[in-house]
Amino acid sequence: MKKLITILVVFLIQFAVWSQTYSIKYKSFSSSTDGNIEEAIEKWKNSTTESNFILLYNNGISWYGAIDKAPIITEDPENSNEQVVSTKRVVKVSVYKNHNEKLLFTDFGEIFARFGEINPIKEQNLTIYDWEIKDKTQKISGYNCKLATLTDDKGVKVVAWYTDQIPINDGPSRFSGLPGLILQLQYGEKFFYTATSIKKENDNIIIPKPEGNFMKPKEFDEYMSEMLKPRTITRPDGTVVRVSGGNN
């Protein structure tokens, strides 16, 4: 009995200690939808448009995705869940990271569900990025930030500003592994993420592992290239869709 109570107490304490969830809101820009990113940021500064993405972090597990798709927090969706599968491929992807088990899951949502296909989830090892920390610093809203860069395996240069005053080794999209939270990240000239708020949630929130059809990277790549072949599909409701082909 004593043992049971001790275990329960320890478990509860741990639960109490470890179940602190942090939510960091990001505004993300992409050159394919926003055009010139600098101009898009100008427009956003002068408007009241809310942030569109969120990073939830709890004890080494994080989820990053569109606010209206967040597993726990729901807000009024800004726009309809439009997923345009065209050669411009605007898709709201979410990323689940488990730092303890070193796993990364990329959930492509209902990208192909409309064609009666399965939801693919790419399962891979959490990338250990070879960040290069530079001497440059800047203050972002009172936080002392340092500059870190890397070149990914596609040759794209990534630039991130992080602060170790918020010791969460995570960030937007699939990026992580810096000594602090990534407040701003630029992926080549294609994507730009900027953090707008950080909050420690009062409620105990458990971030669930995504559900769907898990595929290892090779299987996933084969599936995607198959799906993005130019072809004509007849949807379950009878409408005919033409897939014009994906970017190579």
> Residues interacting with another protein, by CB under 8 A?
10, 13, 17-18, 20, 22, 37-38, 41, 45, 57, 59-60, 87-88, 99-100, 133, 135, 140-141, 143, 146, 149, 153, 155, 157, 159, 164, 166-169, 177, 179-180, 183-184, 186, 188-189, 192, 194-200, 230, 244-245, 247-248
Concatenated DSSP letters of 204-239: ----PPP-SEEE-HHHHHHHHHHHTSSEEEE-TTS-
Please choose, from the candidates 122, 92, 97, the residue with its C-alpha nearest in 3D space to the C-alpha of residue 109.
Answer: 92
**Rounded to an integer, what distance in angstroms lies between the CA atom of residue 109 and that of residue 209?**
13
Closer of 119 and 149 to another protein (Cβ): 149
Q: Which residue has the tokens 């088990």?
A: 101
Write out the two tokens for 92: 């709201």
Q: Shortest Cβ distance from residue 27 to another protein (Å)?
A: 8
Closer of 81 and 132 to another protein (Cβ): 132
Alpha carbon 226 to its chain's center: 24
Write out the two tokens for 18: 């470890």
Closer of 78 and 189 to another protein (Cβ): 189
Q: Shortest Cβ distance from residue 206 to another protein (Å)?
A: 16
Closer of 81 and 100 to another protein (Cβ): 100
Q: Shortest Cβ distance from residue 71 to another protein (Å)?
A: 20
For residues 24 and 57, is the Cβ–Cβ distance under 8 A? yes
Please choose, from the candidates 64, 70, 89, 82, the residue with its C-alpha nearest in 3D space to the C-alpha of residue 224.
Answer: 89
Q: Shortest Cβ distance from residue 237 to another protein (Å)?
A: 27
Strand partners, 214: 121
Closer of 2 and 154 to another protein (Cβ): 154
